[in-house]
Structure 1
Amino acid sequence: MGKLTTHVLDTAHGRPGAGIAVELFKLEGDARRSLARTVTNDDGRCDKPILEGDAMVPGEYELVFNAGDYFAAAGVSVPEPRFVDRVALRFGIADAAAHYHVPLLVSPWAYSTYRGS
């Protein structure tokens, strides 16, 4: 069975991004439907897959990471509005039986992602 997982790395401090709120949306044309909400654990990962089983269907999705709140809680001084705040990653799932791992590497000034394993 396929699944969707993620983790967050705080590249500014060289540690896992713990306590970051993550939301998953299914994109259908111009509409966004909320599917799940979770928070990263001390290792910057979610305790269970964000999507799996029968809920894992091909289509377009969006993960939204509340990175700005994480950096503010960590005491990082950044100007308002924040340069990096809510990071939205849009991606496609073509094979519902596969494992899609979508990590976020983030700092107050930059972010990147890749399809992990």
Structure 2
Amino acid sequence: MAPEGFAFDHDERAAIAEHDGGVPKRYADAFARLQQEKPRGVDLARWRQAMQDGGLFLDRWGVTADALGWEVADVFGLDPVAPLARYDAMGLIWLLAGATVRLLDERSATLSTGLVFRRKQHGRR
């Protein structure tokens, strides 16, 4: 369910991110899904923060993350049973909490707080 007062069309949101923002399609689709419905087990404030952090990340790092082989789950992932308890299944945007990414490579993201997020190792696309 979209936030109150927020008209939502998944395809339109994804197209805006992809075509107007230059966001790779797979991330644009995932970001549109995130905006469409609050994940079960995530409070409203955390969801809103993740949407803001996700948008900022995609604006700055979306193309680079895609080129480096970051999977959608590395960026947006959440465990379906224990979404905010399973850090090993949590994507980067859920851990930003207002921080920004300062450096991104194939294996990790260094945050403005100094913390380092290490992505799960997947096979390259």
* TM-score (normalizing by structure 2): 0.25
Scaled by the length of structure 1, the TM-score of the pair is 0.26
